Amino acid sequence: MLIGVPKEIKNHEYRVGLTPASVQELINRGHQVIVETNAGAGIDFSNEEYVAAGAEIIETAAEVFERAEMIVKVKEPQPQECEMLREGQLLYTYLHLAPDPKQTELLVKSGATCVAYETVTDERGGLPLLAPMSEVAGRMSIQAGAHHLEKAEGGRGVLLGGVPGVAPAKVLVIGGGVVGDNAAAMAVGMGADVTILDRSLPRLRQLDADYEGRAKCVYSTGNAIEEYALEADLVIGAVLIPGAAAPKLLTRDIISRMKKGAVVVDVAIDQGGCFETSKATTHQEPTYVVDDVVHYCVANMPGGVARTSTMALNNATLPYALALAENPKQALLSDKHLLNGLNVHKGMVTYKAVADVLGYDY
Ligand code: NAD
């Protein structure tokens, strides 16, 4: 199959659909890969590396879209990209169609077959192509929090791990899923005093066994959130209620009584945020202050570490890319979890939740 990788065109998006290593894997299986010039340049994957892996470099996105049978991207296609898709072509990328009627309409009109990373499932009911970005955001939340605890960043001037003779900072992680677990692992590694709150007992049991006492694992109630937040230097918001907006667990009242210069990182901001005072921010201006508490609410945290994120995403997307390139129909029909990724096919919305929300026949 001829696979095409256009350069991402969303503002400040430096990730790329395929790394040179992934290109090499596809070529080893007998496929051809065309890559738009400088598609990976922003994260130091040069044209030369793609050529060394066996790809052909193409000058324009238009030619990539015209020639390729399968397009591999990261972000949802922008209107000018949707216009270039056609029937019989396969699109493999994040789509997030439910809140995006315009994109859905354009993809339906294109007639292309569109597989969305975010709805591919796994045996355990997880979302394997979303998990790598949660791992990145979770780990990054502690790095961001530690940085903003510094005096010059508006924080209270506290070092996460303390030093011999000075107690470490207190870190509260609300939500112990993929983001929360990765945040806690970093905070524990830096020597902080860590508490994880979750309202799933099986999850708390698992975390308790994994951390062997290096993090306190506590059932999440309003009282527990208040008690631990008031003594915290850093709070990470990492809850998810699938399909729903994040609950506002940290109220303005609690925030107004937190330590002056404490930092709150709301990773759940992409679901509306789990702190009452949260509003989405960008990498250019990541923080703002409410009641002397520094808020970090960047909605696309993985974009800040685009090289790591691209490689993490490729580790998860490549096996499906290989299967799709081999035989798209067979790949989809023989794997119900990959089939869950199929959102649009030949002018039909094929993902029930999207069809229901946007009023398409299913
Ligand atoms: P997950 O499903 O793995 O974990 C969520 C956890 O929250 C679960 O363990 C659940 O039991 C727990 N939870 C639910 N209600 C709770 C409550 N009231 N108190 C305590 N815990 C509660 O989800 P995840 O992959 O860890 O993602 C967490 C959030 O981070 C999601 O909103 C996701 O979209 C977001 N996210 C944001 C970025 C970003 O760049 N900002 C990147 C990746 C993920």
Active site residue 337: no
Q: In which band, very low, low, confident or very high, does the pLDDT at 214 lie, cut at 50, 70 and 90?
A: very high
**Listed range (4-8, 44-48, 137-141, 271-275) with the worst mean pLDDT:** 271-275
What is the C-alpha separation between 117 and 121, in angstroms, rounded? 9
The domain 131-299 is placed in CATH, from the list 3.75.10.10, 3.30.360.10, 3.40.50.720, 3.30.470.20, at 3.40.50.720
Q: Look over the chain and give the mean of its residue pLDDT values, rounded to a whole number.
A: 96
Protein residue with least CA distance to atom 32, ligand 1: 268
Q: How far is the CA of 220 from the centre of ligand 1 (A)?
A: 13
Mean pLDDT score, 347-353: 95
User: 50-109 pLDDT, tens per residue?
Assistant: 999 999 999 999 999 999 999 999 999 999 999 999 999 999 999 989 889 999 999 999
Q: In which band, very low, low, confident or very high, does the pLDDT at 281 lie, cut at 50, 70 and 90?
A: very high
**Listed range (154-158, 164-168, 269-273, 274-278) with the worst mean pLDDT:** 269-273
Cα distances (angstroms) measured from residue 176 to each of 45, 101, 211, 346: 34, 33, 12, 40
Residue 242 has what pLDDT?
A: 74
* Residue to mutate, 13, 122, 127, 134, ligand 1, most ligand atoms under 8 Å from C-beta: 134
Alpha helices in the chain (DSSP H): 20-28, 47-53, 61-67, 79-82, 101-110, 131-148, 178-189, 201-211, 222-231, 252-257, 306-326, 328-334, 336-339, 352-358
Q: In which band, very low, low, confident or very high, does the pLDDT at 271 lie, cut at 50, 70 and 90?
A: confident
Sign of CA dihedral 152, 156, 158, 160: negative
Mean pLDDT score, 227-238: 98
Active site residue 210: no
Choosing from 193, 233, 266, 270, the catalytic residue is 270
Q: In which band, very low, low, confident or very high, does the pLDDT at 230 lie, cut at 50, 70 and 90?
A: very high
> Cα–Cα–Cα angle for 284, 290, 296, nearest 5°?
35
As for the ipTM of the complex, it is 0.99
User: 143-170 pLDDT, tens per residue?
Assistant: 999 999 999 999 999 999 999 999 999 9
Cα distances (angstroms) measured from residue 185 to each of 16, 136, 145, 193, 206: 28, 12, 14, 11, 14
- Specify the CATH architecture of the domain 2-120+307-358: 3-Layer(aba) Sandwich (3.40)
The binding-site residues of ligand 1, defined as CB within 6 angstroms of any ligand atom, are 133-134, 137, 174-180, 197-200, 203, 220, 238-241, 246-247, 249, 267-271, 299-302
Residue 99 has what pLDDT?
A: 83
Q: How far is the CA of 241 from the centre of ligand 1 (A)?
A: 7
Parts of the chain belonging to CATH 3.40.50.720: 2-120+307-358, 131-299
